[in-house]
Amino acid sequence: MTGTTSGSRLDLPRYARTDAGLRTPVGYADYRSTGLRAPLRTPVDLPHRLTEVTGPLLGEDRVTATDADLTKRLGGEAQGQRIIVHGRVLDSDGRPVPDTLVEVWQANAAGRYRHVVDNWPAPLDPHFDGLGRVMTDDQGRYEFTTIKPGAYPWGNHHNAWRPAHIHFSLFGRAFTQRLVTQMYFPDDSLFFQDPIFNSIPEGARHLAISRFDYERTVPNWALGFQWDIVLRGAQQTPFETEDDGDVA
């Protein structure tokens, strides 16, 4: 699955990587839950009716600047290393994709999600919910202010730890048009044992890793990381999909 620009909105036709060597298998033995989630039969195309091809228009009146700052929530300031995560949403030829809803969710600095099923005994941050959203501008740019998430154990295999990562979701013309992926941080020591990261073919793994951006660092306040999201072509960001097997 991928996206192309259509007017000023993200359009997501059915698509698979042309280079089979860069496709991630839907079922990956080392990532145990894919045995439960991966489809056993060829997906069936369903006709798109009005509810599938239309959706709410998300603009400045519904997505505000405060939605993109995850550090100041719930009456206080989040704990941890403040970071600026920014980049562009691009098509295969480098064209920006404007007016696209980008959402993120992540663990806190201790590696814990504010979620009822997360029972790892790491501290919850009372001022961090881990949720943010922003609309890309006319140059396809997005930016979040957040904290660097911590690693956490997850039980996939012996002593399994997830590397620090931020989940990304991009919406198209309707809520059925959605791309989901994960952004990682450079030089993470946990890459070697993480089956989700390693399910991405080696030649495409760098596309899921952000770049430390010293120029975007806010002096004496926050570090900067850049991560462009490319929707199609040779430099396509690895996405979680059900039809072509790309998983991030």
CA 227 to chain centre: 10
- Answer yes or no: is 102 within a domain: yes
The one catalytic residue in 165, 173, 178, 205 is 165
Q: Which two tokens stand for residue 8?
A: 């000023």
Rounded Cα distance, 7 and 26, in Å: 32
Instruction: Indicate if 167 belongs to the active site.
Output: yes
Residues 6+ apart with CB under 8 A from 162: 111, 151, 152, 153, 154, 190, 194, 196
The one catalytic residue in 162, 178, 205, 232 is 162
DSSP letter string, 60-129: TTTS-GGGGBTTEETTEE--S-EEEEEEEEE-TTS-B--S-EEEEE---TTS--SSTT---SSPPPTT--
Tens digit of pLDDT for each residue in 100-156? Answer: 899 999 999 999 999 999 999 999 999 999 999 999 999 999 999 999 999 999 999
- Answer yes or no: is 132 within a domain: yes
Asked if residue 205 lies in contact with residue 197, where contact means CB atoms within 8 angstroms, the answer is: yes
pLDDT band at 176 (very low <50, low <70, confident <90, very high): low
The one catalytic residue in 15, 28, 113, 142 is 113
Torsion sign (Cα): 227, 195, 239, 53: negative
Domain that holds residue 166: 62-230
Tens digit of pLDDT for each residue in 25-47? Answer: 777 888 888 877 777 788 787 77
Mean pLDDT of 207-229: 97
- Answer yes or no: is 17 within a domain: no
Instruction: Report how many domains make up the chain.
Output: 1
Mean pLDDT of 216-238: 92
Q: Residue 203: what pLDDT? A: 92
Tens digit of pLDDT for each residue in 74-85? Answer: 889 999 999 999
pTM here is: 0.84
Instruction: Indicate if 142 belongs to the active site.
Output: no
Look up the CATH number of the domain holding residue 145. Answer: 2.60.130.10
The one catalytic residue in 15, 142, 152, 184 is 152
Instruction: Indicate if 162 belongs to the active site.
Output: yes
- Answer yes or no: is 1 within a domain: no
Instruction: Indicate if 184 belongs to the active site.
Output: no
- Answer yes or no: is 16 within a domain: no
Rounded Cα distance, 35 and 56, in Å: 35
Q: Residue 245: what pLDDT? A: 33
- Answer yes or no: is 245 within a domain: no
pLDDT band at 5 (very low <50, low <70, confident <90, very high): very low
The one catalytic residue in 9, 73, 167, 178 is 167
Q: Which strand (E) or helix (H) includes residue 6?
A: strand 4-6
- Answer yes or no: is 49 within a domain: no
- Answer yes or no: is 190 within a domain: yes
Neighbour tally for 105: CB within 10 Å: 18
Rounded Cα distance, 60 and 135, in Å: 8
